[in-house]
């Protein structure tokens, strides 16, 4: 009996030591949305930004995953009472919860991916991305590579950070048609009426497969799913059909690297550099230069970009590749508008 | 088979071993196996102890923790009461999720559209509509069963899917959709239709709202209905032996529709409770699979109102405590889902519990 008490004491002591050893001078905390941190998309990329900050500056990090949207508010509150030095919330859908938490706790610093407040809130940095600039290049590329003359896209939910991909994609295809006199059409999104194909979730891989199948049946040979992990289902379908029949354009972060199972189907990825911007926000909070407002990721500051073509680079002609490089610099220099 | 199942999920009298001991042991066993899962994924002993300590601190360790536990438990208990009631009458109501959605939708529409009523009229009106629409929606399944014999498991599952798509549709109607948004999200309910917070006078961030008190009232009412009224007796007789009940002059078809209606009203209140007490508006995921978790709560509570109350508080504690566990120990929130599932496995197979800890039981398993 005595021995077990001693053991228990030793156990408790070791717990206390391990508790105290986790105390950092600066802690960055992230709340994910319902996609979870392993979504191979924007939650994962933002978390990579936090991890980069940990590696670079030796700070502490904490993570809370939301199971349902009812978790947003309590998760943010947990981090406030935990005394986090900066709280990163991921996603447009957390916009209201983050704004309320920031107003109730003016001492805490927040950064939110994909949301810009108008008017701005002094203790929230909104990280938004001109994703349409990169999606424009992807649209031009798709129009140039497509053999059927039909490309497709679909989204998760009809919200600005999703539809901006689709806007840019359509604009890129239209620009190709205008320059080349072709008639490549885009299925799944109408930038005028703001209507299109949406799975209404960011989680069902089955939907990803079914929506890509529908677009394929309608003649599309390149599909860009803008729905986080849903796109993994589309990639699985493309892998079965073969890349001659169907190619996928990934979103958020180079899917060739993340989706290793079906990596050969990705023509490119429209990347949002959330890791870099989250890292930047954490660094600004750490060195005291943190300001509420908006930070915009663009082609110019590498906040958005398109990924290499990897296995499918043979299907992109040198001419097309050079045109895209030229387009990129004219967008950066402001000579070309990516709006429809 | 059906009789055997019924015996497992319903406890007729307040039998100590059936209602308290087995659920408690099931929970403990689930926690222990949860530990094994953590060990298998390479967590250290210290970290597991940190995780479980914080699971407890995060659910009962402070006023805020208790407030969060109760806030999470309230809708679960509302919906589980309805499911338990249906179990008692021999009905497997899998449709609480859909009833929550429809009830919540009704509450949100009343909540934002009527702007001339004072709070003491607006609030009850929104709750009432939530309950009525939940009841009507559930009664469809009851009516189908009573008139055509369609099995309620099938029809309620299908009604869940219909409710989900109806919600998508309604949230995009211009009269309901929030101004300036393209995504499916409703207008916010007015202040006069929000369930007031009951602990905010102590600290403003305590989220517990008056829906918790309504839920306690509902527990008492369901207990009274089940065990002290003729209707309750008819419910229980229909559940334990439909044929005998029929011969005794109980109208089975009416009972079925009535039970489903009351179950739906309770689920509708769960939905209204989330809309009016927690979220303030409706979005496609507002039901957050509460209707499915509530089935587990009803099972764990052995379909007894008091059992459901404690089971709901336990599930609420797991949700609230899971947050601090994740923060302090870095253990994935998925562990909570595993523990919840294991609890259900042990409840569904009480023999497993009896064999695992035989010394805890005085009586032999009567089944």
Q: Are residues A180 and A112 in the same domain?
A: no
Closest-CA residue to A302 (of A273, A332, A334)? A273
Q: pLDDT tens digits, residue range A117-141?
A: 988 999 999 999 999 999 999 999 9
Q: Are residues A113 and A148 in the same domain?
A: no
What pLDDT, on a 0 to 100 scale, did the predictor assign at position B10? Answer: 61
Q: Where are the beta strands (DSSP E) in chain A?
A: 27-31, 60-64, 86-90, 110-113, 124-129, 150-155, 185-187, 189-190, 195-196, 222-226, 247-252, 266-272, 293-297, 304-306
Q: Are residues A61 and A109 in the same domain?
A: yes
Q: Is A11 on the interface with B (CB under 8 A)?
A: yes
CA distance B133 to A204: 29
Partner residue opposite A18 with nearest CB, options B46, B289, B327: B46
Q: Are residues A202 and A327 in the same domain?
A: yes
Closest-CA residue to A141 (of A190, A182, A176, A186)? A176
Q: Is residue A16 part of a domain?
A: no
Of B8-22, B136-150, B165-179, which range is least confident? Answer: B8-22
The model's confidence at residue A183, banded by pLDDT at 50, 70 and 90, is: very high
Full domain range(s) for residue A183:
131-272+309-332
Q: Which two tokens mark B33?
A: 């196996």
Q: Which two tokens mark B342?
A: 């294991």
Of A242-256, B195-209, B336-350, which range is least confident? Answer: B336-350
The model's confidence at residue A210, banded by pLDDT at 50, 70 and 90, is: very high
Q: pLDDT tens digits, residue range B180-206?
A: 887 889 999 999 999 999 998 998 889
Q: Is residue A17 part of a domain?
A: no
Q: Is residue A15 part of a domain?
A: no
Residues in chain A: 340
* Cβ atoms < 10 Å from Cβ of A38: 14
Q: Is B164 on the interface with A (CB under 8 A)?
A: no
What pLDDT, on a 0 to 100 scale, did the predictor assign at position A12? Answer: 55
* Cβ atoms < 10 Å from Cβ of A86: 27
What pLDDT, on a 0 to 100 scale, did the predictor assign at position B365? Answer: 57
Residue percentage of chain A with pLDDT more than 90: 79
Check CB contact under 8 Å for A63 and B68. Answer: no
The model's confidence at residue B367, banded by pLDDT at 50, 70 and 90, is: very low
What pLDDT, on a 0 to 100 scale, did the predictor assign at position A79? Answer: 95
Check CB contact under 8 Å for A68 and B289. Answer: yes
What pLDDT, on a 0 to 100 scale, did the predictor assign at position B105? Answer: 97
When divided into structural domains, chain A yields a total of: 2
CA distance B98 to A277: 40
Three-class secondary structure of residue A316 per DSSP: coil
Q: Is A62 on the interface with B (CB under 8 A)?
A: yes
Q: Are residues A247 and A202 in the same domain?
A: yes
What pLDDT, on a 0 to 100 scale, did the predictor assign at position A13? Answer: 53
Chain CA centroid to CA A162, Å: 9
Instruction: Mutation target for A interface from B172, B333, B339: give the one with most A CBs within 10 A.
Output: B333
Q: pLDDT tens digits, residue range B314-337?
A: 999 999 999 999 998 888 888 888
Which residue's entry shows tokens 């102890």? B49
Interface subset of A 12-41, CB within 8 angstroms of B: 14-15, 18-19, 29, 34
Three-class secondary structure of residue A150 per DSSP: strand
For residue B194, report the phi and psi dihedrals to the nearest 5 degrees: -100, 135
Q: Is A163 on the interface with B (CB under 8 A)?
A: yes
Check CB contact under 8 Å for A104 and B204. Answer: yes
Q: Are residues A154 and A80 in the same domain?
A: no
Q: Are residues A178 and A62 in the same domain?
A: no
Check CB contact under 8 Å for B183 and A78. Answer: no
Closest-CA residue to B93 (of B11, B5, B160, B3)? B160
Mean pLDDT of the A189-199 span: 93
Q: Are residues A233 and A250 in the same domain?
A: yes
Q: Is residue A325 part of a domain?
A: yes
Check CB contact under 8 Å for B332 and A65. Answer: yes
Chain B residues whose beta carbon lies within 8 Å of the beta carbon of residue A11:
45-46, 49
Q: pLDDT tens digits, residue range A255-312?
A: 999 889 999 999 999 999 999 999 999 999 999 999 999 999 999 988 999 999 999 9
Rounded to the nearest 5 percent, the helix, strand and coil shares of chain A are 50, 20, 30
Q: Is residue A1 part of a domain?
A: no
Residue B357 backbone zone (phi > 0: left; psi -120 to 50: alpha; other: beta) = beta
Q: Is A108 on the interface with B (CB under 8 A)?
A: no
Q: Is residue A45 part of a domain?
A: yes
Q: Are residues A124 and A198 in the same domain?
A: no
Q: pLDDT tens digits, residue range B34-88?
A: 999 989 988 898 999 999 999 999 999 999 999 999 999 999 999 999 999 999 9
Q: Are residues A174 and A261 in the same domain?
A: yes
Q: Is A67 on the interface with B (CB under 8 A)?
A: yes
Residue A80 near residue A54 (C-beta atoms within 8 A)? no
Check CB contact under 8 Å for B68 and A158. Answer: no
Chain A residues whose beta carbon lies within 8 Å of the beta carbon of residue B47:
18
Instruction: Report the 3 state secondary structure along chain B.
Output: CHHHHHHHHCCCCCCHHHHHHHHHHHHHHHHHHHHHHHHHCCCCHHHHHHHHHHHHHHHHCCHHHHHHHHHHHHHHHHHHHHHHHHHHCCCCCCCHHHHHHHHHHHHHHHHHHCCCCCHHHHHHHHHHHHHHHHHHHHHHHHHHHHHHCCCHHHHHHHHHHHHHHHHHHHHCCCCCECCCCCCCCECCCCHHHCCCECCCCCCCCCCCECHHHHHHHHHHHHHHHHHHCHHHHHHHHHHHCHHHHHHCCCCHHHHHHHHHHHHHHHHHHHHHHHHHHHHCCCCCCCCCCHHHHHHHHHHHCCCCHHHHHHHHHHHHHHHHHHHHHHHHHCCCCHHHHHHHHHHHHHHHCHHHHHHHCHHHCCCCCCC
Peptide bond into B294 cis (omega under 30): no
Q: Is A69 on the interface with B (CB under 8 A)?
A: yes
Question: Does A226 have pLDDT greater than 80?
Answer: yes
Closest-CA residue to A153 (of A130, A184, A131, A186)? A186
For chain A, the first-to-last Cα distance in angstroms comes to 77
CA distance A29 to A49: 11
Interacting residues of B156 by C-beta distance below 8 A, sequence separation 6+:
B92, B93, B94, B95, B98, B138, B141
What pLDDT, on a 0 to 100 scale, did the predictor assign at position A108? Answer: 95
Q: Is B274 on the interface with A (CB under 8 A)?
A: yes
CATH number of A59's domain: 3.40.50.2300
Residue A286 near residue A59 (C-beta atoms within 8 A)? yes
Q: Are residues A167 and A266 in the same domain?
A: yes
Q: What is the DSSP letter of A131?
A: H
Q: Are residues A149 and A50 in the same domain?
A: no
Q: Which two tokens mark B348?
A: 């569904």
Three-class secondary structure of residue A180 per DSSP: helix
Chain B residues whose beta carbon lies within 8 Å of the beta carbon of residue A198:
none
The model's confidence at residue B11, banded by pLDDT at 50, 70 and 90, is: low
Q: Is residue A2 part of a domain?
A: no
> Which domains are delineated in chain B?
44-330 (1.10.3470)
Q: Is residue A202 part of a domain?
A: yes
Q: How many CB pairs under 8 A join A and B?
A: 80
């Amino acid at each position: 009996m005595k021995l077990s008490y001693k053991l228990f004491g030793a156990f408790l002591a070791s717990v206390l030591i391990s508790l105290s050893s986790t105390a950092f001078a600066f802690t960055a905390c992230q709340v994910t949305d319902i996609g979870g941190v392993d979504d191979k998309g924007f939650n994962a990329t933002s978390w990579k930004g936090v991890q980069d900050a940990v590696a670079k500056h030796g700070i502490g990090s904490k993570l809370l995953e939301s199971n349902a949207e009812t978790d947003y508010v309590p998760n943010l509150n947990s981090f406030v009472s935990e005394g986090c030095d900066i709280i990163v919330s991921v996603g447009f859908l957390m916009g209201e919860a983050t704004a309320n938490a920031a107003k109730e706790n003016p001492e805490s610093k927040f950064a939110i991916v994909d949301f810009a407040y108008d008017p701005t809130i002094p203790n929230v940095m909104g990280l938004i991305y001109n994703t349409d600039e990169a999606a424009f290049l992807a649209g031009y590329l798709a129009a140039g590579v497509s053999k059927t003359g039909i490309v497709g896209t679909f989204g998760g939910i009809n919200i600005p950070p999703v539809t901006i991909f689709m806007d840019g994609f359509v604009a890129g295809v239209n620009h190709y048609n205008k320059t080349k006199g072709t008639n490549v059409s885009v299925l799944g999104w109408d930038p005028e009426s703001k209507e299109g194909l949406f799975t209404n979730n960011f989680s069902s891989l089955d939907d990803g497969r079914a929506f890509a199948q529908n677009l394929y049946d309608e003649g599309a040979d390149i599909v860009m799913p803008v729905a986080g992990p849903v796109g993994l289902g589309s990639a699985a379908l493309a892998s079965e059909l073969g890349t001659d029949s169907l190619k996928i354009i990934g979103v958020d972060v180079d899917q060739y690297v993340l989706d290793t199972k079906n990596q050969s189907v990705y023509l490119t990825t429209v990347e949002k550099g959330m890791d870099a911007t989250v890292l930047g926000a954490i660094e600004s909070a750490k060195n005291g230069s943190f300001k509420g407002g908006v930070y915009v990721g663009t082609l110019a500051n590498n906040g958005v970009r398109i990924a290499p073509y990897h296995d499918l680079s043979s299907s992109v002609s040198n001419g097309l590749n050079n045109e895209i490089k030229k387009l990129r610099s004219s967008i950066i220099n402001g000579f070309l508008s990516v709006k429809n | 088979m059906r009789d055997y199942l019924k015996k497992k999920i319903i406890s007729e009298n307040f039998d100590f071993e059936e209602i308290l001991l087995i659920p408690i042991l099931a929970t403990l066993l689930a926690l222990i196996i949860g530990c094994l899962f953590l060990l298998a994924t390479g967590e250290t002993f210290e970290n597991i102890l940190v995780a479980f300590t914080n699971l407890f601190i995060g659910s009962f360790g402070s006023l805020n923790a208790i407030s969060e536990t109760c806030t999470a438990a309230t809708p679960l208990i509302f919906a589980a009461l309805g499911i338990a009631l249906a179990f008692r009458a021999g009905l497997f109501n899998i449709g609480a999720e859909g009833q929550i959605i429809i009830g919540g939708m009704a509450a949100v529409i009343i909540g934002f559209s009527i702007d001339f009523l004072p709070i003491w009229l607006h609030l009850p009106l929104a709750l009432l509509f939530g309950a009525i629409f939940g009841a009507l929606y559930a009664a469809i399944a009851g009516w189908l069963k009573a008139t055509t014999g369609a099995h309620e498991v099938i029809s309620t599952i299908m009604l869940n899917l219909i409710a989900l798509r109806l919600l998508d549709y309604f949230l995009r109607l211009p009269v309901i959709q929030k101004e300036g948004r393209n995504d499916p999200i409703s207008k916010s309910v007015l202040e006069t239709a929000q369930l007031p917070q009951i602990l905010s006078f102590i600290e403003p961030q305590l989220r517990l709202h008056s829906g918790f008190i309504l839920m306690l009232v509902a527990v008492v009412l369901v207990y009274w209905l089940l065990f002290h009224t003729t209707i309750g007796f008819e419910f229980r007789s229909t559940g334990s032996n439909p044929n005998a009940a029929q011969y005794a002059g109980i109208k089975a078809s009416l009972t079925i529709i009535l039970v489903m209606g009351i179950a739906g009203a309770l689920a509708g209140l769960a939905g209204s409770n989330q809309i009016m007490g927690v979220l303030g508006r409706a979005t496609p995921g507002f039901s957050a699979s509460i209707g499915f978790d509530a089935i587990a709560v009803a099972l764990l509570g052995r379909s007894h109102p008091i059992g459901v109350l404690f089971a709901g508080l336990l599930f609420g504690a797991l949700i609230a405590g899971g947050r601090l566990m994740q923060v302090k120990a870095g253990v994935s929130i998925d562990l909570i889902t595993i523990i919840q599932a294991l609890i259900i496995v042990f409840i569904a197979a009480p023999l497993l519990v009896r064999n695992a800890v035989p010394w805890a039981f005085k009586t032999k398993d009567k089944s």
